[in-house]
Structure 1
Amino acid sequence: MAQTWAVLAALLFLLISLVEGLAYSTVSVEAGHEAVLSCPYVSNVSLLMVTWKMKCSSCCLLAYRSDSNETRKLNCSERMMWKHSPDTDLALRIYPVNLGDEGNYTCEIANSEGNFLFFSSLTVIVPPAVTLTWDKSGMAVCQASAGKPAANVSWIPASNHITEEEVHHSNGTVTRVSYIGWVNSTLPTVTCLVTHPATNQTLSLHLSYSSPRLPYLVIGGSASVAAVSGVTLCLILMCRGFRIRKLAHRSAVPFETKNFRFTPSRVKREAVKPPVSSESIYQNYNPRMNY
């Protein structure tokens, strides 16, 4: 019985030690921003060494040794560094953070009293690209592309004719597409609400301006305008042709006489000589001129 209590006391002491030596935090950062992972150290015993490492075999390892004031960096990109000087602040800084930095990190502190671990879980948030369009089938389409986590999409006004679909990408992002039918709707506007930890967006679509019947109306209007223009052009050409034929009929003979170049000059003068009266013939007659 005494042995059993001794074992239980040892297990309890070990559990208390583990709880006191472990700490855990979660950090969520938007892609492209700065991520800071803290490693609190409150012991009065002087620090011997601190090591930051990501939980994978070939990931970054960042270490600092106080007795020699030496830092070491292994398999770490230039985006990973100490927040400040490691002898005053043990926090890890990642800037700019991307999806590849997401995961679990461990800060291990060593001093004369032992080793202490502090765990951090880094989550990278990616805001989606939001669009609101319509298609020819009479559906309004609200799409939140490549977001992490997946965005929530809702409509104003709400409708029972809403369908959604999701596409999961290999990098962990999600595209969510929501459809709502508005062919028989009498409302002039539909509004899409997109909620996400990184962004909240509201987009509105004027249905009266985006009706799929509009292109057909435009095409029909263009055809009508073209038909009216064609008829008007035909009438103008017919009127001009009629006037040209009428003018040609009126001036056919004078044009031929005037432009006839092979008529002798005497004939031409006779042709244009005005008629002479009998009085003018004997006006200058002198009988002596015969002798």
Structure 2
Amino acid sequence: MASSWILFAIYLLTSLTTPVNGTHQQYKRSELFKLGENASLSCINKTWNQIIYILWRVSMNGVNCSITKEAHGPVYSSCSNRVTLYNKTSGESQLHIAHFQLSDEGTYHCEVAYNHGNYLLMIAVNAIVSPVLSAQLYSNGSHRFAVCSAHGGKPAANVSWEVWWSSPTITVQVRSEADTSSNITAWLELPDNVTRGNISCIATHTSWLDRRSVTLNLNEKQPSNGSAANPTFPKTQIPNQHSHRKLRRWNPMQVMYSVSTQSTTPLQISMDHNFSSHLEVLCIHHASHGY
């Protein structure tokens, strides 16, 4: 029995390193799945009439397993019973993950030897988790803030404010949690002359078909800085020099941007709300003093 396993391992290695007819293909892609749904991963658009063997190597948060099958042989698996190989009606093989969980996130390598070559595919698999959206009013001395939070989203949500006044001062903060989810908080500093009416926090997320919103009534009494819901108030940069500059690109998992102005000239902010890449802030203002 041990000899047959050794011969099979040698066969796998030589098949993967020695392309048939010189064909050796390697690809990468990513997949997102909602928690609790059945997930299917396709590897190659070929049927078992063309495939010699297929091997899946899975790395999930430090837990490794594999599942393999030859064209006319049984399936060998060291993975969970929820992870299985099955054939589509067209005859193509897929990896099936029943009731997708956070623990199933990881890297899935598929290796196929077929009649005319070898095929390698790496799939980055992650969960989709809907964030919880909320909005509140806070005060910190003479400063008043409307704060919108999208908590626990995977991937990160995009959050913004819809207001009726021009040139709002907004600070967006992104915090990554230990479970790789993200908390997005958008701070809107309220002008002194804005004391009544409604404003809306708008959020979008991969798990939602449409954008979602929370309406905040500015007539409500704001909790003080010493309340039980005391937040960490953002620090702002006070530009007071004529400038036209692009601020540095921040790590998307740190504070994304913090801008404000004391000048009467409107502050123009150009932002990319895709927090998975980068955020650029373009400040254009005029003032009489230097930094």
TM-score tier (shorter): 0.5 to 0.7
Listed as ranges, the matches of 1:18-167 within 5 Å are 20-42=24-46, 46-55=50-59, 58-68=63-73, 70-74=74-78, 76-84=79-87, 88-111=91-114, 113=116, 115-137=118-140, 138-157=144-163, 159-167=167-175
Equivalent AA in structure 2 for residue 38 of structure 1: S
Task: Flag the 1:167–1:21 CA change in 2: closer, same or farther, 3 A.
Answer: closer
The 8 Å contact of residues 148 and 174 in structure 1, kept in 2 or not, is answered as yes
Which is greater in Rg?
1
Equivalent AA in structure 2 for residue 79 of structure 1: R
The 8 Å contact of residues 36 and 83 in structure 1, kept in 2 or not, is answered as no
Residue ranges of structure 2 left out of the alignment (5+ in a row):
1-17, 224-291
- What TM-score results when the alignment is normalised by the length of structure 2? 0.57
Tell me how large the CA RMSD over aligned residues is. Answer: 3.4
Structure 2 Cα separation of the partners of residues 42 and 156 of structure 1 = 50
2:221 is matched with 212
Query: How many matched pairs?
Result: 198
Structure 1 Cα separation of the partners of residues 77 and 48 of structure 2 = 27
Larger fraction in strand: 2
Equivalent AA in structure 1 for residue 185 of structure 2: V
Equivalent AA in structure 2 for residue 152 of structure 1: N
Structure 1 Cα separation of the partners of residues 69 and 89 of structure 2 = 7
Task: Flag the 1:49–1:186 CA change in 2: closer, same or farther, 3 A.
Answer: same
Which structure carries more relative contact order (alpha carbon 8 Å, separation 6+)?
2
1:262 is matched with none
Match of 1:192 among 186, 191, 201: 201
Structure 1 Cα separation of the partners of residues 48 and 82 of structure 2 = 32
Task: Flag the 1:182–1:60 CA change in 2: closer, same or farther, 3 A.
Answer: same
The 8 Å contact of residues 24 and 117 in structure 2, kept in 1 or not, is answered as no
2:244 is matched with none
Larger fraction in helix: 1
1:281 is matched with none
The 8 Å contact of residues 138 and 222 in structure 2, kept in 1 or not, is answered as no
Equivalent AA in structure 2 for residue 145 of structure 1: H
How far off is 1:29 after superposition?
A: 2.2
Residue ranges of structure 1 left out of the alignment (5+ in a row):
1-13, 215-291
How far off is 1:160 after superposition?
A: 2.7
Q: Which digits, 9 at most, give the CA deviation of each residue in 1:5-44, with x for residues without a partner?
A: xxxxxxxxx9997775333333222333332210224379
Structure 1 Cα separation of the partners of residues 22 and 188 of structure 2 = 54
Structure 2 Cα separation of the partners of residues 198 and 213 of structure 1 = 32
